[in-house]
Amino acid sequence: MIVAKHNTAARLGGPICGAVMLAALMLVPMAQGGTARRTVKTKSGVEMLYLPGGSFVMGDAKGAPDEKPHRVSVDAFYMDKYEVTQESYRKLVGSDYSRWKNPKAPVEQATWAAAAKYCNARSRAEGLTPCYDTKTWKCDFAANGYRLPTEAEWEYAARAGTTSSYSFGDNQSALRNFAWMKENSGGRPREAGKKLPNPWGLYDMYGNVAEWCNDFYAVDYYQKSPAKNPQGPASGSRRVVRGGSWNSRATECRSSYRSSENPAYSDVCIGYYDVYGLRCVRRG
């Protein structure tokens, strides 16, 4: 019998151009050689990495029943180099519900709806077309604005070309070098970007705050997922969150680990949401 994981805080414990200024350019080594990733700085001052598309095996045969391995491919996309900070969130939205106040720390106590609204606000600030219809919460993947990553895009970025449990290997004891989690966070999220990045230059993909994905969650979705650009089930009661948080055990931070939460479409502040944050993507 497969049982869905309904996680709470206890569980979690077209290229950018025009409106986006390519103000910063540098090279980031890939995990397995080849060409480098490119960093750009957006008009709103956020650093993003351009990730060329590719295919990978999503899931883990040694993981939970909902992690059934299957090969998928994703198109190129841009992803925030860091989790969205409270400073960045307030600059565009005006205020936030974060419990642990620190402008350089990730925004938290963010519902899925709040994360989607931030994506829209950032799109409008840069003259881009917002992806989310806030009446239906449907995402327009053809729009050139910002959105939350699909679950497949998130895992592709987290793995960074690797096939191990984590982007640095299978040794859980090394996770403390890459993530703020239950055993080293001191019981709160920390400033973004203070741990080591993954091989593609993305920071805090594990721990700190768990990151909302665009997808609805279904325990059996991998059994019927399309092979190219999967976008999750058409409907559902919960949305996917990935990466684990400052209150997560090491096993809950694995690249393939799946969790989910109530998206809370209304503007509410719910205590256990202090483990949930976000990072944005946009099409490449």
Least confident residue range of 59-73, 184-198, 257-271: 257-271
Say if residue 280's pLDDT is above 70.
yes
Domains for the chain: give ranges and CATH numbers.
53-283 (3.90.1580.10)
Mean pLDDT score, 254-273: 81
Q: Is the pLDDT of residue 276 over 60?
A: yes
pLDDT tier at 95 (50, 70, 90 boundaries)? confident
The lowest-confidence range among 15-19, 112-116, 153-157, 213-217 is 15-19
23: left (phi over 0), alpha (psi -120 to 50) or beta: alpha
pTM of the model: 0.88
Average pLDDT, the chain: 88
Higher per-residue pLDDT: 175 or 35: 175
102-144 pLDDT per residue, tens: 999 999 999 999 999 999 999 999 999 999 999 999 999 999 9
pLDDT for residue 41: 95
Query: How is residue 48 written in tokens?
Result: 């993003």
> According to the model, what pLDDT value does residue 11 have?
38
